[in-house]
Structure 1
Amino acid sequence: MSYYDDELSAKISSALAIFGLVWYTALWCIGLLGAISVYRRYRNRPIFVNFTPAFEAPGVSVLRPLKGLDPDLYTNLESTLRLDYPNFEIIFSVSDEKDQALPIVTELLQLYPNVKAQIVVGQEVVGVNPKVNNLVRSYKLAENDIIWVLDSNVFVDPGTLARSVEALTAPRKPTQRRIGVIHHVPFVDKVNSCWGSRVEAVFLNTVHAKMYVAINTVAIESCVVGKSNIFRRSDVDLVNGTLKPRDPLDLDVGIKRGFASFGRFLAEDNMIASALWHELGIRHELSTDVAHNVVGNMSISDYVWRRVRWLRVRKRMVLAASLVEPFTESILLSIIGSSSVRYLFGIPRSWFLIVHFLLWFLVDTSVYSSLAGRLPAVIDGHFVMAWIFREVAALPIWLFAVFGNDVVWRGEHYRILQNGEVAPSSSGNDK
């Protein structure tokens, strides 16, 4: 090899090392931004709520889609009947009159006769998504413009709705876009002995929350999951998921818009939020509350297939972000960082890796503790083992997920199409 070849090789190696160090530093900055934002927003979140008088409180329709006996279903549904808010209704939706959730809802309504609530039985098929089909009739029957869609495996604190409405209706600066969605970061505060449940709890309470809050703090793009979302029906009725800015002069002839139009997506919650962001130009906001996510009895296999499902959905919705995701995880990032600093500064790889993983773990546990708020964060041997498994399994799961498009959701097989739309699939190879 000639001198010039050696010089070119050295320049390429230096450039790659510098790029790797910049990437490593940038990802740490994003992670720290998420951890700091979680601390500020959730560590000392309020217990009590001070809301406007009842006659000034905007009406809210709480929609709870039900299918079967989700873990802790009674407690989850009861939490909405105990909301500390003066002006709301609850609509429980089931697609089948034989659904096992119905007796539980009926019992709860008898225990809380003073709460305005009803049960809607029967779906209206508007697309492939069973959750949307289940909610269409309830959505039409809702009396209020403000809609809160709350999954059945979530329970909320009594003041959640009041604080969320305050955030939704808060005055804005003239230069700020109007708030169109209030959402809540999922948090698991109860976990059983099943290892899949432990790993899922670690994922939601650490890396997911850290990145989710960081992205929403920067707020350069829509990033919303659908456990607990509040929006205005008058806004949703104007969008359809094309993500193209809406022309006020468009006569909408033959164009299907509104909630029912999102039945063609599997992740309808994310698409509704993205549509409001891109088509109407309105922004999102996290409240100071969390959506207490009950994960139930999950095996490791359940955890893996759940991650595969949503990775495949994300791949079809945001391909670029999905492709770089492995390089944001701790293991590949540590390889990039250690290789870069070893080449540039001669720092031993082993020292770097020890410090990297120790600090990464401490940041993740800080996020968990902040989300727990005044509740104790249980960081024991089981947590550490689940955390290690989550980190090690991230890349293999991603590799498997990226080379497929079929998923299973609530027993039904789907094929993910372009932009996150779905079609029924007869494949039985994916769980």
Structure 2
Amino acid sequence: MVEAATVYAVVAACVSRKRPAQTATPSHLAPVSVLKPLCGAEPHLYENLAGLCRQDYPDYQLVFGVCAYDDPAITVVNLLRTAFPERDIVLIVDARTHGRNPKVSNLINLYRAARHAHLVIADSDIAVPPDYLRRLAGPLSDPHVGVVTCLYRGRPVDGIWSRLGAAFINEWFAPSVRVAHAGGSRRFAFGATIALRRDTLNAIGGFRALANRLADDYWLGELTRQSGWKTVLSDVVVETDVTETSLRALWRHELRWLRTIRSLNASGFFFTFLTCTWPMLVLGCLLAPHLPVLAIALVGALARSVIAGSIGAALRAPLRDALLLVEWAAALGGGRVHWRGHVMTTTDAPPTHSTAQPGNRPALPKPLYSTTPHAQDSPR
């Protein structure tokens, strides 16, 4: 075990330090609609959304969606409209549900306002660089590409628990993706950013094909791959806010991630314990306390420190790995997960019909709002 854990740590350290070459920007930049489902006033929400308003891109639309008229995210969108009057900003307020996944319901509701053939779907809690859309546009111009996605770095908001949550992303999740990518795997798509063409989305059944999927981002990529398109991991890396302020909140969040991973790749998930470097090194040394094992463990510890990237993170690494090992053990069983106040299961349900049937719609004010006249007339 200590040998396997060390080999993984060394490989992860090597691929984590290597950055992919930046994709060339195409000569023609196609107009883009950015779909952004929102829910509540998250920390840094204004700053994160304002970054999208400052993109170095010639023609793009921002479509925000919430499910209630009292959602505080509406105030943030209105502030953006005031600060960036030149931007094409649309806000959808629509409470209709179309399945068990609330994020996908939100996307179905706001999709009809998207005007352009190229789409970018992005989580609400990410911060992006000014060339974000330009760097996504390169691979998407290739007709053989179905989905362009990108990795993300955790950005702790405050306290030890958010720092440990960020370490989960930066020191375990991201390196594991880079190792898989270096090994030739393309079986991924991340909700932080997914870019695709409208015809690709329609070919797999639209967002409704994801309405009852917990891992909607993964399945959006998987369904496009099953249809013959390629998945590209962009060179751009965004930042995501990690807001957990208690062990309970962090446990629920990471248990959801791990149980979801188990539901998608049970055999691969079983060997996840080997990526918990520090516990494996300690266990190996206890079981075989002789010089070769100690030397191998030292190499693994150094590699793990390289992955951590800073002295403070390296000091937290043993605690982070130990917590991950306990979470992995808990995730071996059970299928219930907590997500934004909802309890879901990792078992995919059969497709269900939308509750938004003609003659059976909730009494709501007109759901579409826009600062631009043409968006009100959008046929989509």
TM over 0.5: yes
2:218 aligned to 270, 277, 280, which one? 270
Task: State the identity as a percent.
Answer: 24
Equivalent residue in structure 2 for 1:396, among 326, 329, 333: 326
Structure 1 residue 260 corresponds to structure 2 residue 226: no
Aligned residue in 2 for 1:94: 66
Q: 1:308 aligns with which of 248, 255, 270?
A: 255
Indicate how the Cα distance of structure 1 residues 110 and 137 shifts in structure 2: closer, same or farther if over 3 A, else same: same
Paired AA for residue 324 in structure 2? A
2:98 aligned counterpart, secondary structure: coil
* Conserved 8 A contact 1:195-1:386: no
Distance 1:320 1:50, change over 3 A: closer
**Is the 2:92–2:110 Cα contact (8 Å) retained in structure 1?**
yes
Deviation at 1:334, TM superposition (A): 3.0
3-state SS of paired residue (1:181): strand
Select 1:40's aligned residue among 18, 32, 52.
Answer: 18
Larger radius of gyration: 1
Counterpart position of 2:97: 125
Q: 1:81 aligns with which of 53, 78, 95?
A: 53
Shift of 1:397: 1.1
1:282-297 correspondence to structure 2 within 5 Å: 282-297=229-244
Q: 1:192 to 1:420 in 2, by over 3 A?
A: farther
Q: Deviations over 1:265-317 (max 9, x none)?
A: 1110111111111x212221122211211113532222221111111122222
Q: Distance in 2 between matches of 1:420 and 1:164?
A: 33
Select 1:220's aligned residue among 185, 198, 203. Answer: 185
Shift in alpha-carbon separation, 1:79–1:203, aligned structure 2, 3 A: same
CA shift in 2, pair 1:39/1:380, >3 Å: closer
Q: Which residue is equivalent to 2:145?
A: 179
Q: C-alpha distance in 2, partners of 1:39/1:360?
A: 12
Residue 33 of structure 1 and its aligned partner are, at CA, apart by: 4.6
Shift of 1:158: 0.6
Give how far 1:216 is off.
2.1
Quote how far apart the aligned CAs of 1:85 are: 0.6
Q: Which amino acid letter does the alignment assign opposite residue 301 of structure 2?
A: F
How do 1:168-207 and structure 2 match up within 5 A?
168-170=140-142, 178-188=144-154, 190-207=155-172
Change (3 A) 1:316 1:191: closer
Take 1:68 and 1:192, find their aligned partners in 2: how far apart are those partners? 16
Amino acid at match of 1:191: P
| Cα offset, 1:348, TM superposition | 4.9
Please say if residues 406 and 413 of structure 1, whose CA atoms lie closer than 8 Å, have aligned partners that are also in contact: yes
CA distance in 2, matches of 1:281, 1:170: 13
Which residue in the other structure is 2:339 paired with?
Answer: 409
Matched residues in 2 for 1:358 and 1:267: separation?
34
Distance 2:12 2:134 in 1: 25
- Kindly provide the amino acid, as one letter, of the partner of residue 262 in structure 2: K
**CA 1:155–1:259 in 2, change beyond 3 Å: closer, same or farther?**
same
Partner of 1:386: 316
Aligned to 1:250: none
User: Structure 1 residues 168, 35: closer, same or farther in 2, change over 3 A?
Assistant: farther
Measure, in 1, the Cα distance between the counterparts of 2:286 and 2:317.
24
Q: Is the 8 A contact 1:34 1:212 kept in 2?
A: no
- Provide closer, same or farther for how the CA distance between residues 196 and 419 of structure 1 changes in structure 2, counting only shifts above 3 A: farther
User: Counterpart of 1:305 in structure 2: which amino acid?
Assistant: R
1:233 Cα deviation from its structure 2 partner: 2.2
Q: CA RMSD in A?
A: 2.8
Residue 185 of structure 1 aligns to which amino acid in structure 2?
L
| Per-residue CA distance 1:329-377 (angstroms, 9 max, x = gap) | 214643686699x69xx64544443342233222x13xx4xxxxxxxxx
Q: Structure 1 residues 358, 40: CA separation in 2 closer, same or farther (over 3 Å shift)?
A: closer
Instruction: Provide the secondary structure at the position in 1 that maps to 2:219.
Output: helix
Q: Equivalent residue for 1:237?
A: 202
Displacement over 6 Å in runs of 4+: 419-422
1:374 is aligned to: none
- Cα 1:359–1:38 change in 2 (3 A) is closer
Corresponding residue SS for 2:96? coil
State the match for 1:104 in structure 2: 76
Shift of the 80–142 alpha-carbon distance from structure 1 to 2, 3 Å rule, reads same
User: Higher relative contact order at CA 8 Å, sep ≥6: structure 1 or structure 2?
Assistant: 2
Q: What is the Cα deviation at residue 31 of structure 1?
A: 4.8
Structure 2 Cα separation of the partners of residues 399 and 37 of structure 1: 27
CA separation of 1:75 and 1:412: change in aligned 2, threshold 3 A: same
Shift of 1:258: 1.8
Q: Aligned equivalents of 1:419 and 1:354: distance in 2?
A: 47
2:49/2:127 contact within 8 Å kept: yes
Residue pair 2:56, 2:131 contacting (<8 A) in 1 also: yes
- Hey, what's the Cα distance between the residues in 2 that align with 1:205 and 1:165? 25
1:334-373 pair list within 5 angstroms:
334=281, 347-362=291-306, 364-365=307-308, 368=309
Instruction: Report if the CA contact (8 A) 1:123-1:135 is conserved.
Output: no
Relative to structure 1, is the Cα distance of residues 50 and 317 closer, same or farther in structure 2, using a 3 angstrom cutoff?
Answer: closer
Matches of 2:299 and 2:30 in 1, distance apart?
Answer: 51
The answer to whether the Cα contact below 8 Å between 2:262 and 2:332 also exists between their aligned partners in 1 is yes
Match of 1:425 in 2: none
